[in-house]
Structure 1
Amino acid sequence: MSAARIHRMGSPEAIEINSVDTPIPAPGEILVAVYAAAVNFPDTLMIAGQYQVKAALPFVPGHEAAGVITAVGDGVTSHSPGDRVAVLAPGAFAEYLVAPAGAAVPIPAEITFAEAAATWVCHLTAYHALRSTAEIRSGDNVLVLGAGGGVGLAAVELAASLGARVVAAASSSEKLDAARRKGAHATINYTEGNLRDGIRAALGPGAIDAVIDPVGGPHAESALRELRWGGRFVTLGYASGEIPRIPLNLILLKGAVVKGLEIRTFAHHDPQNASRDRDEFTALWRSGRIRPLIHARFPLSQAREALELVTNRSSIGKTIIEVVSDYTISSEEH
């Protein structure tokens, strides 16, 4: 099979398209023919050797895919060959991948492979952050930083669906336009003015119930300072490349709750809420109320270009690597 592989840490230029053996599913695993895979910002950090977990070289990047099961390992009864599934597993930028059977969920008939691949990681991360970590309630004021990226835009859409009043902050008018289309009540371009001033103009001082932050960097502290007393701040990642140092006295004075969410380990540490969130999100997804914004598509041979688009923060919503092009383009795409 063909696979995009990394033989040395660095930039997306390190990607090579190689011919490798098709994997065989072990007991409890499934083999999936990949139709589409989504590029996420952590993929770029992993390639650069800057992610929290280092992958052994050589490796196939990508963790989010959708396709058709072609074989199952011993003991698998939950899935069968021919099933259309979305999968959260490493090695997604290839024609086939193996994954634990529990890492796959059925794709509703009306959902394309591209939409399925573009939904699972970012939307489920955002749902866990909102539902279990920040414990969002209807009527809450929620600030989403990095609202034009995959997780940020998903958080805007899902927070609005939970009844929150969403303020979206991002770095361009195009990203903020996308956030408004996904339900943001107010928007802030933090390259054109002071973030705190923008928050106060939208909500008044100290009015934020929860912050969802997948970006880190200099805006994290400004957002924290505008929490109401007892507000919640959720850190999801550091797409800015800068891990913020927060003065602890702010936590004391605000009575704030600061929590982290790491999608790879959340289900292990909190299986009860993870299962509840997954069921709720899957039902919401199947209802058609949640649809990802797909910015661009690339063939597997151009995996390097797809990753460069995300690395340069030029992608609004999700960028897709399509391995098999047999589905129609969604009306949500640019």
Structure 2
Amino acid sequence: MRAMRLHALNERLRLDEIEPPVPAPGEVRLRVEACGLNFADTLHVKGRYQEKKTLPSALGGEVCGIVDALGEGVEGLARGDRVAALVGEGLAEFTLADARLCTPAPEGMSPEAAASFQVAYGTSHVALDHLAKMRPGERLLVTGAAGGVGLTAVEIGKLMGAEVIACARGAERLEIARRAGADHLLDSETQDIREVCLGLGGLDVVYDAVGGDQWTAAFRSCRFGARLLPIGFASGEVPQIPANLLLVKNLTAIGFWVGAYKTHAPEVLSGSLAQLFAWWSEGKLTPHVSNVLPLEEAEAGLDLLRNRTATGKVVVRIG
């Protein structure tokens, strides 16, 4: 099979011909149709992600594919089933997946859409619903609101009944967030985040994919009892959280890494994805895939994420 693999840190991916993997007990092998790329993949290239890969290794953590083979003990799945799954090496013609993390893809959903749902929509849904327990009428700030993950937070936040402030760079990106349902648009290059948020009455929930100065401004814009979700650090600066301000305002900072749920609570992820697919089937969610590339151009997809030029999801079409 063909696979785009990383052989050494800080190098470009190479297109390799290797043997297809064999599923272990509890696993299935998928014939990959499409693989979603995420900012985490760019961190894997640098060796800076929480989870370290043994090289050489393919990147890509989410796919849509057809069940091709089943490991011992797998129940509820059969060869030929079309599923979305969180995986370890998705940039390949075949990959392995934990059967517990395979969710049937809705009829009529494109491979690109199904592959792009799990990390972006799943992160936002689990963060806002399961962790922050956001309620209708609360005010939500989303930083990096036109990115692959941030845009889903805008959409899900609005679906959950929040008043959504979308923070992004420039009118073009903010227009994308507006179409996703944002109530207020905040240009991070020309406007003062704290001034705007306090002017609206302060924040109840912060969904921050940027870090750095944007986190600091959002933190200082929180109302009593607000919840803050540090989702990622696209700015390259990991913020420090002053515990004294947590105390004074009764704030809660909630860490969330989707990879930990794969090991410790896979049922939370599969349950979330089932709900998200149901919303898609009802016409309540519209995934925004901005770029679709062939397998041999996966490196160009990573460049779109590194340069923060993608608006929405970047997907590699394989099968």
Secondary structure of the corresponding residue to residue 137 of structure 1 = coil
Question: Does the 8 Å contact 2:106/2:277 carry over to 1?
Answer: no
TM-score scaled by length of structure 1: 0.91
Instruction: Report if aligned partners of 2:64, 2:114 keep a CA contact under 8 Å in 1.
Output: yes
Where does residue 7 of structure 2 map in the other structure? 7
CA contact (8 A) 1:64 1:88 kept: yes
Unaligned stretches of 5+ residues in structure 1:
325-334
Asked if 1:281 is matched to 2:276, the reply is yes
Identity %: 37
Cα deviation, 1:223-251, whole Å, max 9, x if unaligned, reads 01111111111111212211011222221
Partners of 2:27 and 2:6 in 1: CA distance: 24
Which stretch shows the higher mean deviation, 307-316 or 237-246? 237-246
Which residue, out of 228, 231, 243, partners 1:233?
A: 228
Q: Secondary structure of 1:136's partner?
A: coil
TM-score by length of 2: 0.96
Shift of residue 100 of structure 1?
A: 1.2
Instruction: Say which SS state the counterpart of residue 89 (structure 2) adopts.
Output: coil
1:132 corresponds in structure 2 to: 130
The 3-state SS of whatever aligns with 2:247 is helix
Q: Which residue number corresponds to residue 42 of structure 1?
A: 40
Deviation readout 1:123-170 (Å, 9 max, x if unpaired): 011001100111111111100111111111111000100011100101
| CA spacing shift, 1:317–1:135, aligned 2, 3 Å | same
Counterpart of 2:244 in structure 1: which amino acid? Answer: N
Q: Report the counterpart of residue 290 of structure 1 in structure 2.
A: 285
1:213 alignment partner AA: D
Structure 1 residues 135, 93: closer, same or farther in 2, change over 3 A? same
2:62 and 2:266 mapped to 1: Cα distance? 20
Q: Name the CA shift for 1:288/1:15 in 2 (closer, same or farther; >3 Å).
A: same
2:102/2:270 contact within 8 Å kept? no
The 4+ residue runs of structure 1 with deviation greater than 4 A are 267-276
Distance 1:254 1:266 in 2: 29
Aligned AA (1:199): C
Distance 1:127 1:77, change over 3 A: same
Task: Identify unmatched segments of 5+ residues in structure 2.
Answer: none
Superposition pairs for residues 303-322 of structure 1, below 5 Å?
A: 303-322=298-317
The residue aligned with 1:260 is 255
Query: Would the aligned equivalents of 1:119 and 1:291 in 2 still touch at CA under 8 Å?
Result: no
Cα root mean square deviation, aligned? 1.6
Please say if residues 131 and 277 of structure 1, whose CA atoms lie closer than 8 Å, have aligned partners that are also in contact.
Answer: no
Instruction: Tell me which moved more, 250-259 or 283-292.
Output: 283-292
